[in-house]
Amino acid sequence: MISPQTQNPPTRNPSWTHSFDTPEERYLKSSLRPDFHWGFATAAAQVEGAAFTHGKGLSCWDTFCHIPGKIKDSSTNDDSCRSYDFYKQDVALMKSYGVTAYRFSLAWSRIIPLGGADDPVNEEGIKYYSDLIDELLANGITPFVTLFHWDIPQTLEDRYLGMLNQERYTPDFLRYARLCFSRFGDRIKHWITYNEPGVYTLAGYAAGVHAPGRSSFRDRNAEGDSSTEPFIVAHTELVTHGLAAKLYKQEFQPTQKGTIGITLHGNWSEPWDISDLLDVAAAERAREFEIGWFAEPLYGSGDYPASMRAQLGDRLPTFTEEEKRLVRGSSEFYGMNTYTSFFVRHRDSPPDINDHKGNIEVFDKNKSGVSRGEESDTQWLRTAPWGFRKLLRWIWNRYHIPIYMTENGTTAKGEKEPSDTILNDTHRVEFFRGYVGELAKAVKEDGVDIQSYFAWTFTDNWEWAAGYTDRFGVTYIDFDSPKKTRYPKRSAYFLQDFFSHLIAE
Catalytic residue (one of 288, 407, 415, 463): 407
- Cβ–Cβ < 8 Å for 114, 57: yes
How long, in residues, is the chain? 505
Q: Which DSSP letter does residue 365 get?
A: B
**Cβ atoms of residues 324 and 303 within 8 Å:** yes
Q: Which long-range contacts (CB under 8 A, 24 or more apart) does 220-229 make?
A: 226/354, 226/356, 227/315, 227/353, 227/354, 228/315, 229/164, 229/201, 229/205
Q: Residue 382: beta bridge partners?
A: 375
Task: Enumerate the β-bridge partners of residue 400.
Answer: none
DSSP 8-state code for residue 349: S
Closest CA to 234 of 192, 199, 193: 199
Burial zone of 369 (CB within 10 Å; 0-12 exposed, 13-18 middle, 19+ buried)? exposed
Contacts 24+ apart (CB under 8 A), 306-314: 307/358, 308/358, 311/351, 311/355, 311/358, 311/359, 312/231
**Helix pair 166-184, 123-138: axis angle to 10 deg:** 50
Tell me the C-alpha distance between 180 and 112, whole Å.
Answer: 10
Distance CA 487, CA 466 (A): 21
- Cα-flanking dihedrals φ and ψ of residue 457, to 5°? -155, 175
| Catalytic residue of the set 196, 229, 332, 438 | 196
Question: Is 196 a catalytic site residue?
Answer: yes
DSSP reduced 3-state for 188: coil
Helix (H, G, I), strand (E, B) or coil at 19: coil
- DSSP tag of 313: G
* 452 membership: H or E segment, kind and range: strand 450-455
Q: Is 296 a catalytic residue?
A: no
- Amino acid identity, residue 313? G
| Catalytic (active-site) positions | 196, 407
